[in-house]
Amino acid sequence: MVNWNEEVLARRNQLVEDLFGLLRIESVKDLSTSTKEQPMGEKVGEALDYVLRLSEELGLDTKNVDGYAGHGQLGQNEDAETIGILCHVDVVPASGEWTSPPF
């Protein structure tokens, strides 16, 4: 049995560094930079690629679904104990006043 609390604590610094890497990407939908590979725009595509790259580095099999979504998978889905985590990598524009850069 995996002790997830211990795993998170052991990897805390790397997890925070990876999260900061994602937060630095201004992944606001921008159709003016849309391409077939990045239909939601360059920065959303960059954020999706970043998360998929991290997933690959963790040993997951990844799939980019036409630039709209992606997933990482461990194993062949034959096990009844499958975990799915849903999230998104795009953000709303950082409007207003900031005391530090938002990205």
Give the model's pLDDT for residue 9: 95
Residues 21 and 50 sit within 8 Å (Cβ to Cβ): yes
More confident residue, 101 or 78: 101
Give the model's pLDDT for residue 2: 82
Instruction: Report which of 50, 57, 51 is spatially closest to residue 74, judged by C-alpha positions.
Output: 57
Give the model's pLDDT for residue 69: 93
Task: Please name the amino acid found at residue 35.
Answer: T
pLDDT digits (tens, 9 = 90+) for 41-85: 999 999 999 999 999 998 888 899 999 999 888 777 666 666 677
d(C-alpha 83, C-alpha 80), whole Å: 9
